[in-house]
Structure 1
Amino acid sequence: MTAPLKVKLAGMLEVVYPALDCDFLAEQLLKTMGLAPNQAPPPPHQNNWDESDVVLITYADTLRQEGEKPLVTLHRFLDEHLRDVISAVHILPFFPYSSDDGFAVMDYLAVNESHGTWEDIERIAGDFKLMADLVINHMSARSRWFENFRKRVDPGKDYFFEASPKDDLSAVVRPRTSPLLNPVQTEDGERYVWCTFSEDQVDLNFANPQVLIEFAGIIRSYLEHGVRLFRLDAVAFLWKEPGTPCIHLQQTHELIKILRLLIEHHTPESVIITETNVPNRENLTYFGNANEAHIIYNFSLPPLLINTLVTGNCRHLKTWLMSMPPAQMGTTYLNFIASHDGVGLRPTDGLLDDAEKQRLINTMESFGGKVSYRRAADGRDQPYEINIALYDALKGTAEGGADHWQLSRFLCAHTIMLALEGIPAFYIHSLLATENDYERMENTGRLRSINRSQWQLDTLKETLADPLSHHSKAFSELKRLIAIRRRQPAFHPNATQFTLHLGLQIFGFWRQSMRRDQSIFCIHNISSELQEIALSDINLIGTDHWVDLISGLAIEDLAGSITLKPYQCVWLSNRA
Structure 2
Amino acid sequence: MKNNVQLITYVDRLTGSGVQALDNILHNQLSGLFSGVHLLPFYYPIDGSDAGFDPIDHTEVDSRLGDWGNVKTLGESHELMADLIVNHMSAQSKEFLDVLDKGSDSPFWELFLTKDKVFPAGLNEEQQAKIYRPRPGSSFTNYVLPNNQSADFWTTFTDNQIDIDVTSDVGQAYLTRILKTFAENNINIIRLDAAGYAIKKAGTSCFMLEETFEFIDQLTKKSNAQGIDTLVEIHSYYQTQIEIAKRVDQVYDFALPPLILHSIFSQDFSALIKWLNISPRNCITVLDTHDGIGIIDVGPMNGKKGLLDNAEIDNLVKKIHLNSAGESQKATGAAASNVDLYQVNCTYYDALAANDYDYLLARAIQFFAPGTPQVYYAGLFAEKNDMSLLSATNVGRDINRPYLNSEHIEKSLEKPITQAIIELIKLRNNSEAFNGEFTIEGQQSVLEMAWTNDKSQATLLVDLTARKASIELNDKGKKRFILLESLLN
Shorter-chain TM range is 0.7 to 0.9
Q: What is the CA RMSD across the aligned residues, in angstroms?
A: 2.5
Q: CA deviation at 1:311?
A: 2.3
Matched residues in 2 for 1:457 and 1:85: separation? Answer: 17
Q: Retained in 2: the 8 A contact 1:176–1:373?
A: no
Task: Report the equivalent of 2:267.
Answer: 312
- d(CA) in 2 for partners of 1:306, 1:211: 41
Q: How far 1:568 sits from its partner (Å)?
A: 8.2
For residue 123 of structure 1, report the CA deviation from its aligned partner: 1.8
Counterparts of 2:391 and 2:137, CA distance in 1: 20
- Among 138, 143, 156, the alignment partner of 2:108 is 156
What's the counterpart of residue 20 of structure 1? none
Larger proportion of helix = 2
CA pair 526-105 structure 1, distance change in 2 beyond 3 A: farther
1:481 and 2:424 correspond: yes
Matches within 5 A, 1:388-427: 388-395=346-353, 406-427=355-376
The reply on whether 1:56 has 2:4 as its aligned counterpart is: no
Choose from 162, 165, 168 the match for 1:208: 168
Whether the 8 Å CA contact 2:72–2:185 is kept in 1: the answer is yes
- Relative to structure 1, the CA distance from residue 201 to residue 283 in structure 2 (aligned partners, 3 Å threshold; closer, same or farther) is same
Amino acid at match of 2:390: M
Residues 1:300 and 2:240 aligned together: no
Which residue identity does 2:447 align to in structure 1? F
Match of 1:334 in 2: 284
Q: 1:273 to 1:171 in 2, by over 3 A?
A: same
**Preserved CA contact (<8 Å) 2:58 2:178:** yes
CA distance in 1, matches of 2:351, 2:274: 22
Report the alpha carbon displacement of residue 206 of structure 1 after superposing the two structures with TM: 1.7
Corresponding residue of 2:215: 255
- AA matched with 1:262: K
**What residue in structure 1 maps to residue 316 of structure 2?**
360
Question: Is 2:34 the counterpart of 1:96?
Answer: no
Match of 2:345 in 1: 387
Question: Does residue 127 of the first structure (1) align with residue 77 of the second (2)?
Answer: yes
Residues 221 and 354 of structure 1: CA distance in aligned 2, closer, same or farther (over 3 Å): same
Q: 1:231 to 1:139 in 2, by over 3 A?
A: same
Residues 345, 383 of structure 1: 8 Å contact kept: no
Gaps of 5+ in 2: 117-121, 300-305
Counterpart CA distance in 2 for 1:251 and 1:532 is: 46
TM-score by length of 1: 0.75
Q: Taking structure 1 as reference, are residues 532 and 120 closer, same or farther at Cα in structure 2, changes over 3 Å only?
A: closer
Count of residue pairs the alignment pairs up: 459
SS state at 2:12 partner: coil
Cα deviation 1:464-483 (Å, max 9, x = unaligned): 3x4xxxxx212211111111
User: Does the 8 A contact of 1:170 with 1:243 survive in 2?
Assistant: no
**Alpha-carbon offset, residue 497 of structure 1:** 1.7
Aligned-residue offset at 1:392: 0.7
8 Å contact kept, 2:134–2:340? no
Residues 62-89 of structure 1 show CA distances to partners (whole Å, capped at 9, x for unaligned) of 1345xxx422222211111223111000
Matches within 5 A, 1:509-524: 509-513=449-453, 516-524=454-462
- Is contact 1:57-1:427 (8 Å) kept? yes
- Cα distance in 2 for residues equivalent to 1:463 and 1:314: 31
Q: How does 1:271-286 map to 2 (within 5 A)?
A: 271-286=229-244
> Could you tell me which residue of structure 1 aligns to residue 303 of structure 2?
none
Change (3 A) 1:532 1:498: closer
Unmatched 5+ stretches in structure 1? 1-47, 375-380, 397-405, 467-471, 552-564, 570-576
In the TM superposition, residue 109 of structure 1 has moved relative to its aligned partner by: 1.0
Specify which of 170, 174, 178 is matched with residue 133 of structure 2. 174
| CA displacement at 1:169 relative to structure 2 | 1.9
Question: 1:550 aligned to 2:488?
Answer: no
Structure 1 contact 169–244 (Cα < 8 Å) conserved: no
Identity %: 25
Match of 1:235 among 170, 185, 195: 195
Are 1:499 and 2:440 an aligned pair?
yes
- Could you tell me how far 1:531 is from its partner in structure 2? 5.7
Kindly provide the CA deviation profile for residues 486-532 of structure 1, in whole angstroms up to 9, marking residues without a partner as x: 1222212xx3222212x31122222222xx333333222334x3569
- Matched to 1:80, the amino acid is N
Contact kept? 1:63, 1:70, Cα under 8 Å: no
Instruction: Find the partner of 2:395 among 446, 460, 465.
Output: 446
Over 3 Å counting, the alpha-carbon distance change for 1:84 and 1:243 in structure 2 is same
Distance 1:140 1:293, change over 3 A: same
Contact 1:408 / 1:568 at 8 angstroms: preserved in 2? no
Greater Cα shift, 183-192 or 439-448: 183-192
Aligned residue type for 2:235? N
